[in-house]
Homo-oligomer: A and B are copies of this chain.
Amino acid sequence: MPTERPQSVIARYRSLVDAAVRRALDARGDTELYCMMRYHLGFHPAPNGSPPGSGGKHIRGVLCLLACEAVSGETADASPAAAALELLHGFTLLHDDIADRDETRRGAATVWKLWGVGQAIAAGDAMFALANLTLGELTTSTATIANVLLALNEATLRLCEGQASDLAYEGRDELTVDDYLTMIGAKTAALFSAATAIGAEVGGGSLTQIEALRRFGQEIGLAFQVRDDELGLWGEEPELGKAVGSDLRRNKRSLPILCALSLDHPVAERLARSLAAGVGSDVEAADLAAEMEAAGVRTHCAQMAHAHLARALARLDSVPLRDGPAADLRLLARYLIQRRE
């Protein structure tokens, strides 16, 4: 069997997730609240004609469908759950944009920028409620529906804890790499692990399968965020997306910055001085990034991502799973730490 490219696997499952999210929205109204959600999710222009952003890769929804198949379920069993995960993720991005005062996301104006803060808060809250309601469409037992609803909200609570820490951390000098890992464990990995655990549960997996897939999700969530931070400093400038080096200019303590500050190397002092004074230009940010790379920080980050990947793959190998979807999960996991955007 020829090996499929990870992008094609994602594209195939992404279209199923996309359709499920659209169905969840179409079952509801057409008021301003839903206009905001549709715009934010990349489905529809804003009333003023502003084109929406790309809508994202739906990684969490894709992971949920694959986890369901891996325990011998059908994608149709999990599609409301995949939609719920993407609605939940979308709600957190919508609210994060307000907190960070970000004016663009995925190349488009953010919801708060177009509709105002109050409306954007309401749209996010409504997406969270709609995520929960979409789980009511699952055709499993009511016991599973109740479990999955609680699992999604447990992940959301962890995510809010992570978001609150992330905001509290901005500009704090005493922050360590361990603090950072705790924070991304909550802010990013909690929803990845909920995605794979929920997929396995609605697919009828055993308790050991569900637990193995939950931990697989947790580890690739960590790997994903580590890669994200690396791309934030050394990635190629994505078309109209987040500017490379913006973490430096905003004094946001991302992983490479924390690693560099902890080094016994001249770059540590140089970076601390620049952050204290404020990184004033893109040129200065690029110079700092180059120095950090030369000091081995980028390699260290890549090694951390690989360590989480290895633990994730070991979790998958620890339980019997259906071959095809398990291979796709491995492919996807490797892709997440190699992706360029």
Interface of A with B (CB < 8 Å)? 28-29, 31-33, 91-92, 95, 98-100, 116-119, 121-126, 128-130, 132-133, 136, 141-143, 145-147, 149-150, 153-154, 156-157, 160-161, 163-165, 167-168
Contacts and interface: CB of A to CB of B under 8 A. Distances in A.
Contact of A160 (B92, B126, B147, B167): B126
Contact of A153 (B32, B129, B160): B129
Nearest to A121: B95
16 contacts: A31-B161, A31-B165, A91-B125, A95-B122, A95-B125, A98-B118, A99-B117, A100-B118, A116-B167, A121-B124, A122-B160, A122-B164, A125-B156, A128-B156, A129-B154, A143-B143
A255 to B, nearest CB: 21
A123 B164 contact: yes
A101 to B, nearest CB: 9
Contacts of A121: 95, 98-99, 121, 124
A29 B142 CA distance: 29
Contact of A133 (B99, B116, B125, B157): B157
A160 B125 contact: yes
A145 B150 CA distance: 10
3 closest residue pairs by CB, A with B:
A99-B118, A126-B160, A142-B143
A141 B146 CA distance: 10
Interface SS, A side: helix
A95 B160 CA distance: 14
A142 B123 CA distance: 30
Nearest to A29: B161
Q: How many copies does the complex hold?
A: 2
Contact of A164 (B32, B145, B163, B168): B32
A133 B150 contact: yes
Contacts of A149: 132, 146, 149-150
Contacts of A91: 125
A155 to B, nearest CB: 9
B142 A129 contact: no
A167 B31 CA distance: 13
Contacts of A31: 161, 164-165
A41 B98 CA distance: 24
A116 B124 CA distance: 18
Given A31-B164, A164-B31, A129 B157 contact: yes
A112 to B, nearest CB: 10
A164 B117 contact: no
